[in-house]
Chains A and B, each alone.
Chain A
């Protein structure tokens, strides 16, 4: 069976988001090359808000990795990286962007590729990221701000009910003290490049805007949960949410989040479903399968199976909203300090996924097991067990989110079909 091509965009917002991001990147390249303006490369879990506040455009490593992968370029660059002596067992998700700048043919990179940044920044969550970013910074001859990552020891139940208002205690004061110090160091490094003065009042206003943006996403989530059939495909949820998150708190981001909410609301009011024949609701757990976006629409026709959930939309409101912004820098620290625990590790990740599955009336979950990007694997089995114990059938998808080498789309679709037929189909 030929692989389907069904990545059509049903929402006007989705087209607008894609155009915005492409135009933003073209402007960034033009500014860097023609006007010698600086920009930064940073891990997705760094406080992008500070870059925006201090006038340093920032490219998220994971976003660029997804872009390279979606253009089917991951094999080219990762093979090139391996040829330089970096072995095949090293993490791919966080290194594909690096590979696209130092291995293979950089001229083939999407949209002209990444120019030389003025700064790189990463939180040292796993043990490999300091190596990826240090090597990358050395190749670019650019400074790196490496922020260390503390461990959590206070992990009370139902974190998502505490994180909006009770974040000062939820994320442990000593951890927030430490990360706030790391953020001040980052601020100094950015200021050295742009000369823009850091103002706490401006950060507070930006944080308030981020709250507003995430509140719109909260409404979208509620709409998806309550609607008889899912009004917006998962792919389109991800495109709208993540493009907005990369620019979070900006006027464009807040406006786009509102427009997205409005469009989804209108679809619900008009009883428009993403797939009118929806019979099964699926959950996708893990990072997106960036090299095969069509995968997510592959089971609609035969099984009426629609992916309704991924972490990208749901984590916006649950992970980002912070009320009580007396100390906005500390609130910002609290937003990122435990992302890893919230999304990937027990008990928080498994507990949250089960809650989300129930709210979204999910019939089954597909769980990515990316053995080529090992730090992203952790917690997978706990999540799987928790869902199964809640009566939700699960299927592990052994694949990498960005590395298409070794991915057999047809075989995996066959595996999912079998799973749907034997364990899920109504």
Chain B
């Protein structure tokens, strides 16, 4: 848990951005800066930024969205959609994001593609008057020459689209956007080094919050604050407790981490675009903007559609072998995808003597059953024992 640790003003600032996810975007809008939204990690932030617009991830907190269930939305979007997609749909219909100049929806998951179709339909039927202009970034994730060519072409199209809406990208504006984004990545990587399996000084809750804030913030400012946080955290003592890696359904909230850490474990890594895999490697500024962005996002951004699985599993397999004490598979009721990977990934860990626990409960819910607490407590106790 983060309670009791010396979390200073840097963390407070990042925590604010993470929780108040529209705040920076609204400020920019009020200052006359065009704001462009996107719904996943696979949309090239740099292309938007290089036009002079402010890019923001449209992803209302599912915790808040669950409290304010939108009845109008329930008529149109079936309960089979994940909570995050339902929350986005709801907030867009509510008009929360009507100030966006464009909303870019990538074909990074099937629910997101359907979100695009549903929003279009609401607009067509005259029920989505507050929905901003929509754009499908038809970006494929299979690793074939054909998908690569298709994705590259779509990325160049996206570039033309955002240039048309704001201003044309120049080599200087692109370099500046890349510098901003890479600085944020660099500070995230610095934070990640402070939570390695050998020595960790940052809780999982803090890490998820601090990293997640980057999606909603001005990244130049973000980089400064995250660096400040890294400086503060570096002075802390190392944290005790078994080190966990979390994989499975993407986490847009820190509740699972809080739950695990309340039982004495520390989450040091997530196979997730909201956590350890948010930054990845830098974007090159020596290529043309569309190509540079495409290369980075095609080859480095996590997505449930990355294929073949050997590539999708690579990060997990590499990280799990680095002194991780246990792995948590998170497959809440919203999941109908990651559960397919479970037997294969579980077997990989078993062969290497790495313990794992699968959680099927929804940890975004305000409370979880006592049986889950008991199960986690038993798991943490088991992995505290030295491995034979």
Contact = CB atoms under 8 A, between A and B. Distances in A.
B366 interface: no
A418 B78 CA distance: 24
B144 interface: yes
B16 interface: no
Interface string B108-138: 0111011011101100100000000000101
B337 interface: yes
B345 to A, nearest CB: 10
Contacts of A174: 150, 153
Interface stretch (A254-262, A354-362, A377-385): A377-385
Interface in A52-81: none
Interface residues on A, range: 35 or more
Interface stretch (B4-12, B172-180, B292-300, B301-309): B301-309
Contact of A151 (B75, B121, B138, B344): B138
Q: Secondary structure at chain B's binding surface: helix, strand, loop or mixed? A: mixed
Interface string A350-386: 1000000000000000000101001101101110010
Contact of B146 (A84, A85, A130, A182): A182
Interface in B302-336: 304-305, 307-309, 331, 333, 335-336
Interface stretch (A12-20, A24-32, A121-129, A268-276): A121-129
B79 interface: yes
A153 B138 contact: yes
A168 interface: no
Contacts, number: 118
A134 interface: yes
A56 B80 CA distance: 37
Interface string A107-149: 0000000000000000011111011101100000000001010
Contacts of A346: 117-118, 120-121
B340 A131 contact: yes
Contact of A124 (B142, B331, B339, B360): B142
Contacts of A135: 340, 344
Given A150-B150, A377-B78, A89 B333 contact: yes
Contact of A87 (B113, B140, B307, B339): B339
Contacts of A127: 109-111, 304-305, 337
A178 B346 contact: no
A151 B114 CA distance: 9
A135 B307 CA distance: 12
A385 B343 CA distance: 40
B77 interface: yes
A134 B140 contact: no
Contacts of B124: 347
B138 A126 contact: no
Contacts of B86: none
Contact of A178 (B78, B136, B150, B304): B150
B371 to A, nearest CB: 17
Given A85-B342, A90-B339, A131-B337, A371 B80 contact: yes
A158 interface: no
Given A86-B340, A134-B308, A385-B75, A125 B110 contact: yes
Interface of A: 84-87, 89-91, 124-128, 130-132, 134-135, 146, 148, 150-153, 155, 174, 178, 181-182, 185, 341, 345-347, 350, 369, 371, 374-375, 377-378, 380-382, 385
Nearest 4 Cβ contacts at the A-B interface: A131-B340, A346-B121, A374-B80, A377-B80
Interface of B: 75-81, 107, 109-111, 113-114, 116-118, 120-121, 124, 136, 138, 140-142, 144, 146-147, 150, 153, 304-305, 307-309, 331, 333, 335-337, 339-344, 346, 358, 360
